[in-house]
Amino acid sequence: MANQDKKGSAALLVKPNKKKIAERHHVENEEKYTRGSSLNAKKMKAGYKLKEKIRKQEKEAKEAAQAAALAERLHGEEAGYLEAEGMEKTKNFKQDQLADAVDINTSSKIFNLDLDEFGPYALDYTRNGRHLLLGGKKGHIAAFDWQTSKLHFETHVKETVRDVTWLHNETMLAAAQKKYVFIYDNNGMEVHRMKNHIEVNKLEFLPYHFLLASVGNAGYLKYQDTSTGQLVAELRTKLGGCDTMTQNPWNAVINLGHGNGTVTMWAPTMTTPLVKMLCHKARVTAMAVDPSGRYMATAGLDNKLKVWDIRKYGLIQEYSTKAPAASLSISQRGLLAVGWNSQVTIWKDIFRTKQTAPYMQHLQAGSMMNDLEFCPFEDVLGVGHQKGMSSIVVPGAGEPNFDSLEANPYQTKKQRQEAEVHGLLDKLQPEMIMLDPTQIGKMTRATKEEAQKRQREDQAEQAAEADDLPTKDRKRMRGRNSSLKRYLRKKERRNIVDQDKLDTMDQLQKLQKDQAKPSSGFTTLDIF
């Protein structure tokens, strides 16, 4: 048996000479970074200036791609893998065997938390894979830096906890409890109670948009902006209660799995789903979308596991499971973990070819699976189950090289603060969530007719809005600006005579009469 985990080679810290970069014709892996083909300035119809501009642009793009390709040599780490010798099968390797074979550091990542009182557990890793959040169904919430085993807090909320999720960093987290969603800080202090989110089953946080999405028994998908506190959208799915939700990390579209076997994809600015797919013939139990946003895996009560290409909404593979999968997770490097009954099976290359045998398996004896999640930048799979949580090593799961601007596992406090500020500055607007975010900034593909039609619609809409807009009233003298008069004037402007107006007029008249009526009573002046 040969097992290799991540092994770092010394990073080659050479700053390439700039001139050399400029002169290079081709760099290895350059294509990976060139986005689309280049334009030939010579052939196009354009003036000298424009041609020059485009030429410069192309040159810059090429340079950037080459520099990026050259910088690849700084990726010192290599992904781990499991290799079976001879008649061995990787799926037969068990965690205790792996623990013997791997280095101490890695073996310390295999652990099991026996928490059989408050299970089953939901779990969530931060984006840098450093911190772990556990939420036991019966009210146990714990957050800790799992690599150093430093506990941030541990609390018992004494009510049901259905799901937990970290927000933008490890200082804040959200928990879907019995009725409301609560937000806690990293000391376990309750920061907010979000009364708009009622009976929530699943939570999902969109880190670039600072949106917390929730869906619950009422079947409403709600988006709350965690930076401004606004409730951005409330979308009625019309498909009943929902407890399957995942996000597409590429375009921040939320995928929901429903009881009738459909999967719907949502953007906060559209009241109807962007896509509705019939994926299963029974309830959808679990979903996962791969980090590139290309593939989706769904599992249903019909004992099926299906792999979809969500670029063209086509089915790639279909597998039958012994029991309906309770949870799915896709790792950074494309491993698919399926939790069913008390088993976890991990599949490799499942998006490419049809697999006949799993890559790895894990049995959590006597404990039903509840939630699975691969830890980012680590070859670790977190397994939340009935009797606690276990962490298992899956070689080749995590991305070996991290981008510290994106997610830094070794983030210091200062860096975290910086990242938070930068994240807020670079926050994306909810309207930017769409199926193909590369369309942002591009030209509309609408035909002329369409464009005209849209324009007409918009104009009509604006006109309607203009009617509703309050026109500015000029300032009037004292006594002539009562609220009743103002109201009447407003009505008059629109030339509407309705009961309401008539009533108001009567009221006003009465008021005036009252004022005009001389007081019949005795005053002090009567003395004289």
Q: Identify whether the C-beta of residue 221 lies closer than 8 Å to the C-beta of residue 235.
A: yes
Residue 433's contacts (CB-CB under 8 Å, 6 or more residues apart) are 206, 209, 251, 252, 253, 267, 268, 269
- The C-alpha angle with vertex 308 and arms to 305 and 314, in degrees rounded to 5, equals 125
Q: Which of residues 303-332 bind another protein (CB under 8 A)?
A: 303-305, 313-314, 317-322
Q: Which stretch binds another protein (CB under 8 A): 48-56, 126-134, 215-223, 390-398?
A: 48-56
Q: How far is the CB of 320 from another protein (least distance, A)?
A: 5
Q: Considering the complex, state which of residue 158 and residue 454 has its C-beta at the smaller distance from another protein.
A: 454
Q: How far is the CB of 265 from another protein (least distance, A)?
A: 9
Q: Considering the complex, state which of residue 274 and residue 368 has its C-beta at the smaller distance from another protein.
A: 274
Residue choice 36, 229, 470, 518 for contact with another protein (CB under 8 A): 36
Residue 388's contacts (CB-CB under 8 Å, 6 or more residues apart) are 112, 113, 114, 115, 116, 119, 121, 367
HSE (CB half, 13 Å, CA atoms) of 447?
2
Q: Identify whether the C-beta of residue 100 lies closer than 8 Å to the C-beta of residue 393.
A: no
Q: How many CB atoms lie within 10 A of CB 19?
A: 8
Nearest CA among 64, 57, 61, 68 for reference residue 28: 68
Q: Considering the complex, state which of residue 122 and residue 253 has its C-beta at the smaller distance from another protein.
A: 253
Q: How far is the CB of 280 from another protein (least distance, A)?
A: 8
Residue 404's contacts (CB-CB under 8 Å, 6 or more residues apart) are 410, 411, 415
Q: How far is the CB of 158 from another protein (least distance, A)?
A: 36
CA 152 – CA 471 distance, rounded (Å): 55
Residue choice 9, 17, 149, 499 for contact with another protein (CB under 8 A): 17
Q: Checking phi first, is residue 150 left (phi over 0); if not, alpha (psi -120 to 50) or beta?
A: beta
Residue 442 carries which side chain, given as an amino acid letter?
A: K
Q: Considering the complex, state which of residue 361 and residue 504 has its C-beta at the smaller distance from another protein.
A: 361
278 lines the binding site for another protein (CB under 8 A): yes
Q: Which of residues 387-426 bind another protein (CB under 8 A)?
A: 403, 405-406
CA 187 – CA 2 distance, rounded (Å): 43
Nearest CA among 396, 367, 398 for reference residue 383: 367
Q: Which stretch binds another protein (CB under 8 A): 55-63, 140-148, 151-159, 496-504?
A: 55-63
99 lines the binding site for another protein (CB under 8 A): no
Residue choice 35, 193, 311, 352 for contact with another protein (CB under 8 A): 35
Residue choice 31, 88, 159, 506 for contact with another protein (CB under 8 A): 88
Interface characters, 451-490, with another protein (x: CB under 8 A): x-xx------------------------------------
293 lines the binding site for another protein (CB under 8 A): no
Residue choice 121, 182, 295, 340 for contact with another protein (CB under 8 A): 340
Q: Which stretch binds another protein (CB under 8 A): 116-124, 210-218, 298-306, 489-497?
A: 298-306
Phi, psi dihedral angles at 437 (to 5 degrees):
-70, -10
Measured CA distances, 155 to 121, 147, 158, 159, 171 (Å)? 14, 20, 9, 11, 15
Q: How far is the CB of 191 from another protein (least distance, A)?
A: 29
13 lines the binding site for another protein (CB under 8 A): no
Q: Identify whether the C-beta of residue 224 lies closer than 8 Å to the C-beta of residue 180.
A: no
Q: Which stretch binds another protein (CB under 8 A): 146-154, 336-344, 384-392, 480-488?
A: 336-344
Q: Which stretch binds another protein (CB under 8 A): 136-144, 168-176, 442-450, 478-486?
A: 442-450
Interface characters, 227-266, with another protein (x: CB under 8 A): ---------------------------------xxx----
Q: Report how many residues bind another protein under the rule CB under 8 A.
A: 94
Residue 27's contacts (CB-CB under 8 Å, 6 or more residues apart) are 65, 66, 69, 70
Q: Considering the complex, state which of residue 92 and residue 417 has its C-beta at the smaller distance from another protein.
A: 92
CA 373 – CA 382 distance, rounded (Å): 5
Q: How far is the CB of 146 from another protein (least distance, A)?
A: 27
CA 66 – CA 249 distance, rounded (Å): 27
Q: Which stretch binds another protein (CB under 8 A): 124-132, 148-156, 163-171, 356-364?
A: 356-364
**CB neighbour class for 316 (10 Å; exposed up to 12, middle 13-18, buried from 19):** middle
In the three-class reduction of DSSP (H, G, I as helix; E, B as strand; rest coil), residue 422 is classed as helix
Q: How far is the CB of 77 from another protein (least distance, A)?
A: 18
Q: How far is the CB of 485 from another protein (least distance, A)?
A: 38
Q: How far is the CB of 318 from another protein (least distance, A)?
A: 6
